Structure 1
Amino acid sequence: MPDTIGIEANPYHKLADVGCETSRSTMIVDLSAIEANYRKCQALAPHSACGAVVKADAYGLGAARVAPFLAYLGCAHFFVTDVAEGIALRDVLPSSAKIYMLHGAMPGTELAAEQHNLLPILNSREQLEAWLRHCRLRNRALPAGIHVDTGLSRLGFPIDELHTIAENKGGLSELPVVLFMSQLACAEWRNEISLQQLNRFRRLSHLFPNASLSLSNSAGLFAGCEFHFDLIRSGGGIFGFSTADDPDFKPAQVVRLRTQIIQCRKLEHGEAIGYLRSYTVKKRMRVATAAIGYADGFPRTLGNRGHVFICGSRAPIVGFVSMDLITIDVTNLPESWTLPGTVVDLICPEQTVGDLASAAKMLSDELTTGIGQRCRRLYVSS
């Protein structure tokens, strides 16, 4: 289990209190909330294994810390994008953990996949043939997964092509297929499209009698138990992103994002703030400058329209979001709340990931994956 640090009861302490004195901004990841969400996902599909999608550095939360914690909780199935992500994850997971590469084995990566015990999800005839060539070269029948496209039109074997390969014994008989999967196009809705995909997937599943079957991501948990099959691929649900309006699943908040005030100044009527003087002061005001910007992944679209929280009180962003800084109207806050070093909360109980993402016209995982490494990750447990 990863080492963690607890946050004191007062949520408005300065960053230095949690060891962030050299950090410009900090993403706080609550492992207790991850555990609660993982348990909820398991409970919603009690007859299925709950796998974890940890691609894109666990949606920006830090796969090197999050994945071992999920393994500690009993998770045995992990999904990444490619060989590079798989190798990084293999270094921190138990040897028994299964790591699936959703992009398959790209040309030239087959040996690395074998050496690091990674399972490619084969998406095309070309990938299948390349993997079989590698197996023959190594004189080993190496396991893999098969992805069929049932209606998303993105990755995966076309249904007709998969049927043809199976009927012609086009190498599939040589391959230990450990996972057969597809991806729902509209997992949030139990609609005709999802039901069509379900029926197509069912009709094809007999081709792989020894494989585990997987159709649902986090949102697919709520489409009905017939969508669950053997393995759920949960990502956003584990990380606290709302995946549906289902009353049975209210995810615990995993992520907090905070920075600190660098300087506070008084401005007079008629003065302007920031590049292109995009905000003109209408009456005397106090403005705090805080240490986060679009170089950290904070959305530029929130200039002159987003807001933050200081000591639990809402404060609007005024002026454009620049590379390293935002400016905040703190006129209505006590001066003692706006001293240099004071915490500015951007994602917090008052403003969740979903709230901030919605204000920026983004998806929650789009927001968190965009928060760069200049922003420190701090792992806590309540």
Structure 2
Amino acid sequence: MDASRAGAQLTVDLGAIRDNYRLLAGMSKGACAAVMKADAYGLGMEQVAPALALEGCRVFFTAHLQEAIALRQLVPEHCVIYVLHGPPPGTAKDFFQYDLTPVLNEPGQLQEWRRLAHKLGRELPAAIQLDTGMSRMGFAPADLSALGDLAGVRPALVMSHLACADEPDHPMNEAQRRRFDSLRGLLPGVPASLANSSGVFLGPGYHYDLLRPGAALYGINPQPGRPTPLRQAVSLHARVVQVRSVCEGDVVGYGAHHVCAGERRIATVSVGYADGWQRSLSGRGQAAVDGVIVPIVGRVSMDSMGLDVTGIDPERVVPGAEVELMGPTLPVDDVAALAGTIGYEVLTRLGSRFHRRYL
């Protein structure tokens, strides 16, 4: 897409993502994977995955089979690709065809994988996920007896997922770690993985053999409210459509929710909720012009929203000029806080109408 034809430009710094991977990998004596689900958290798996492979990443995770098939074309053939949701019924042959490794979460998936192994007359690798308290995915306590018969399956990884790792002092973290230590004894000698992005920062006791960062790679703070060592990898700049002066009592936006308290200058920029810019930022979000914060006024609409640029040099805010919505002045976690959500949602909602630039 031509940058001049788009309403906004999204810049993804692949160098920052590589730096973040290098920092995370250096925190453990084991290996470090990269989570690519949701199109690399909305930033573009087609560009991100090869950059991380160049940095030395050899293990990748996706959520869905379709994502993994696309990823297989982007990374060297020796890379291992795990599919977190396991094999949907009837798809085991696709995993074998594309050299993908399922994460088995329940007895039905285990049986599906065993049937294929029996049909092929060979042992097939798989990761085994154990539920240590999140009650989401993984073998539940009632299902553990199924692990007594793994004929045809070669466990390549035993893993679980932390529920509260972004709260370092939460007692659930230690409870899950202890439960994981106990349960992985069912699969002696199999490499283990527990730490997601936030789990990496809980310390070496959570690292085991493989780290599984996702959000941290893309600059999201793994420990909200604490300083982050990670580089920001994303910036978003919106284009000004028009600027106008308004008088006291004038209304800005749908629903007449914003009434001007005096003479103001309002810049309309071409980003809205159709671009993934959340409607919850109406009247509470911010933008920045040359590092100066300006408020979003009125409702965020489908394709546009208003900014109060009163006091900003008029020559700086003219039709065609760009303003920062996310970047050095407004990191992704700050935007998320204003929207009442988390950085994960902000990034994965980013739409397809932006001109995307990769550094």
TM-score normalized by the length of structure 2 = 0.95
Which residue is 2:345 aligned to? 366
Find the residue that maps to 1:368 and give its secondary structure.
helix
Rounded to whole Å, the distance in 2 between the matches of 1:43 and 1:148 is 26
Percent of matched pairs sharing the same residue: 39
Which residue is 1:288 aligned to? 267
Q: Is the 8 A contact 1:62 1:377 kept in 2?
A: no
Q: 1:186-241 deviations in whole A, cap 9, x for unaligned?
A: 22325432222212212222332353210111111122212111000011111111
Rounded to whole Å, the distance in 1 between the matches of 2:60 and 2:20 is 16
Q: Is the 8 A contact 2:117 2:152 kept in 1?
A: no
Give the Å deviation of 1:129: 0.7
Rounded to whole Å, the distance in 2 between the matches of 1:123 and 1:138 is 22
Q: 1:165 aligns with which of 128, 141, 146?
A: 146
Which residue is 2:131 aligned to? 149
Q: 1:271 aligns with which of 250, 258, 279?
A: 250
Alignment of 1:311-322 (within 5 A): 311-322=290-301
Q: 1:318-361 deviations in whole A, cap 9, x for unaligned?
A: 11000000111112111101111111100121111000000001
Is 1:129–2:111 an aligned residue pair? yes
Rounded to whole Å, the distance in 1 between the matches of 2:170 and 2:342 is 22
Is 1:352–2:335 an aligned residue pair? no
Find the residue that maps to 2:33 and give its secondary structure.
strand
What code does the residue aligned with 1:66 have? V
Rounded to whole Å, the distance in 2 between the matches of 1:343 and 1:206 is 56
Q: Is the 8 A contact 2:122 2:152 kept in 1?
A: no
Q: Is the 8 A contact 2:124 2:152 kept in 1?
A: no
Find the residue that maps to 2:124 and give its secondary structure.
coil
Q: Is the 8 A contact 1:190 1:223 kept in 2?
A: no
Moved more, 190-199 or 226-235: 190-199
Q: Is the 8 A contact 1:113 1:120 kept in 2?
A: yes
Q: Is the 8 A contact 2:114 2:151 kept in 1?
A: no
Name which structure has the greater RCO, CA cutoff 8 Å, separation 6+: 1
Which residue is 2:319 aligned to? 340
Where structure 1 has 5 or more consecutive residues not aligned to the other structure, the ranges are 1-15
Give the Å deviation of 1:282: 2.1
Q: 1:159-180 deviations in whole A, cap 9, x for unaligned?
A: 3422x223xx42x132111111
Is 1:120–2:102 an aligned residue pair? yes
Rounded to whole Å, the distance in 1 between the matches of 2:41 and 2:318 is 33
Change in 2 beyond 3 A, CA 1:350/1:249? closer
Which residue is 2:286 aligned to? 307
Alignment of 1:1-382 (within 5 A): 20-45=3-28, 47-162=29-144, 164-166=145-147, 169-170=148-149, 172-188=150-166, 189-244=168-223, 249-380=228-359
Find the residue that maps to 1:337 and give its secondary structure.
coil
Rounded to whole Å, the distance in 2 between the matches of 1:191 and 1:327 is 40
Rounded to whole Å, the distance in 2 between the matches of 1:276 and 1:74 is 52
Rounded to whole Å, the distance in 1 between the matches of 2:191 and 2:169 is 23
Find the residue that maps to 2:151 and give its secondary structure.
helix
Q: Is the 8 A contact 2:240 2:268 kept in 1?
A: yes
Change in 2 beyond 3 A, CA 1:249/1:277? closer
Q: Is the 8 A contact 2:24 2:32 kept in 1?
A: yes
| CA-based RMSD | 1.7
What code does the residue aligned with 1:232 have? L
Rounded to whole Å, the distance in 2 between the matches of 1:305 and 1:144 is 47
Rounded to whole Å, the distance in 2 between the matches of 1:307 and 1:186 is 29
Change in 2 beyond 3 A, CA 1:202/1:173? farther
Rounded to whole Å, the distance in 1 between the matches of 2:113 and 2:336 is 40
Rounded to whole Å, the distance in 2 between the matches of 1:317 and 1:247 is 26
